[in-house]
Amino acid sequence: MGKYPEKLFKILMKKIGSDQGVYSAIRRKENKFKAVRPEILFYLVAVDYGIIISKYEKDEEILKKVDELSQRAGTKKVSKNKEESPRENQKPVEIDPFSISLSKFNLSYDLSKECKIKKPYSKEIDHAIKILEEFIMEKLNLDGGFYGQKLIEEANKKNIFERKDKGEQRGLYFLYSSAMLWLRNSGAHKRRVSGKEECLEIILFVDYLIKLFDKLVDEKKK
């Protein structure tokens, strides 16, 4: 490796495939840039492969010369800038959706404030459904004594689900009935066993039900 920085030479070897490949790349630079020192040509090859050479060479004159030649050759000036190494073999960064704060989902206020994606997940699900019940009671101006399916029946009596299309009307009624008869009661009648994925899905679904019910009540007032 001679006059070339050993660590950088090994990095280039890995990128190009062999030490002979590195020397061949330097010779090609030599044919293009006459009377340029070999170490400068070596750094030019490194720049071609997106390497920040200022990590390995501190001589400002050398760095300046490499940048000048790189610009002449039409190579991006990268000796001191952000490294632009080939990324074809790199895996994309995956974001765990369960690590994102619920506040990022623009949830209704009580859900965002009181619910978390944490163990025990079943407790968080039950709490979200309780928030839905309390929201519906508040929107219907009910003092108490109404819960679960009774609450939905009361909303139906007040024509909250009324639509011109009777199919849509039944759909809204059954949507909220199902939330109470299945989501609420399945946790009330026996111990719920849930994972974090189901916890997130149900909290987001409850948020949809809260916002939809709010819209239905406001439409009824008009």
Could you give the CA distance from residue 94 to residue 186 in angstroms, rounded to a whole number? 34
What angle, rounded to 10 degrees, do the helices at 60-72 and 38-48 form? Answer: 60
- Give yes or no: residues 68 and 103 share one domain: no
Q: Which residues, at least 6 apart from 4, have a Cβ–Cβ distance to it below 8 Å?
A: 39, 42
More confident residue, 51 or 213: 213
Q: Does some domain include residue 89?
A: no
Domain that holds residue 10: 6-72
Q: What is the per-residue pLDDT for 81?
A: 45
Could you give the CA distance from residue 207 to residue 197 in angstroms, rounded to a whole number? 16
Q: What is the per-residue pLDDT for 178?
A: 95
Q: For residue 181, count other CB atoms closer than 10 A to its CB.
A: 14
- Give yes or no: residues 101 and 152 share one domain: yes
- Give yes or no: residues 102 and 10 share one domain: no
More confident residue, 188 or 118: 118
- Looking at the 3D structure of the chain, how many domains does it have? 2
Across residues 33-54, what is the average pLDDT?
82
Q: At residue 92, does pLDDT exceed 60?
A: no
More confident residue, 82 or 28: 28
What angle, rounded to 10 degrees, do the helices at 166-178 and 148-157 form? Answer: 160
- Give yes or no: residues 109 and 190 share one domain: yes
Token code pair at residue 195? 């994972």
Task: Quickly state the pLDDT bin for 155 (edges 50, 70, 90).
Answer: very high
Q: Does some domain include residue 1?
A: no
Q: Which residues, at least 6 apart from 26, have a Cβ–Cβ distance to it below 8 Å?
A: 38, 41, 42, 45
Convert the pLDDT of each residue in 163-191 to its tens digit. Answer: 999 999 999 999 999 999 999 987 766 77
Q: What is the per-residue pLDDT for 99?
A: 66
Convert the pLDDT of each residue in 190-210 to its tens digit. Answer: 777 789 899 999 999 999 999
CA angle 1, 17, 34 (to 5 degrees): 55
